[in-house]
Every structure is written in structure tokens, then in C-alpha cells.
Amino acid sequence: MSRTVQMTIPTYLENRRALRDLCPKAISGARVTLQQFADHVGARSLTKISPNLVSSWLAKMEHLALATVRVRLSAVKTFFAWCIRKGYCHRNPADGFKV
């Protein structure tokens, strides 16, 4: 079965919590951001998420401060970097985006 963003979020956040590399507030923020991203991409497999989907997600945030968009993009980039390390996907669709 292909993994989706939605099904991978809990494992990712638990791993980050166990490693203690994110404080509880940062984990909470990452959860919200990743859930919003999951809602945007739907039930697509991690391997089927394209840079175009990331771009359209970022476009929905044009009303937010640049610092907020940067934090959210960073959360998605970091999530996909972790997914690559775990073997869940082979590329990061958020790579190359800068805010």
C-alpha cells in the first residue's frame, strides 16, 4: 500500500518527538501545517505529489506573512526529507521552492 501524507504524519511527528529535536510547540505547529498540506494533496501517494501541488498549496497562502509561509514550507521540506530517508519516497517535491 502506498503511503499518503495523512497516514505518515503521526509516525513522523512521533519520531521527531522521540529524538527530541522539536519542542512540543514546534511539533504542534508542524502537525497543523502538515495536516493542511495533507488536506490540499488529498489521498495521493507520497510518490505522486508533484512540485505543482506544492506550488498550488503555497499560492493559497499568498495572504500570509512571508515568515509564516517560510516556516510552513520548511516543515513540508523537512517532512519529505525524512520520508526519503525512511524510503517512503525518492524525491522531495518541495525542493527548489524559496519564499
Per-residue pLDDT tens digits for 46-99 = 999 999 999 999 999 999 999 999 999 999 999 999 999 999 999 999 999 987
Q: What is the mean pLDDT of the chain?
A: 95
Using an 8 Å Cβ cutoff, are 54 and 93 in contact?
A: yes
Q: Is the alpha carbon torsion for 76, 6, 11, 30 positive or negative?
A: positive
What are 18-31's pLDDT values in tens digits? 999 888 999 999 99
Q: pLDDT grade, residue 1 (50/70/90)? A: low
Domains and CATH numbers, the chain: 5-86 (1.10.150)
Q: What is the DSSP string of 12-60?
A: HHHHHHHHT-S-HHHHHHHHHHHHHHHHHHTT-BGGG--HHHHHHHHHT
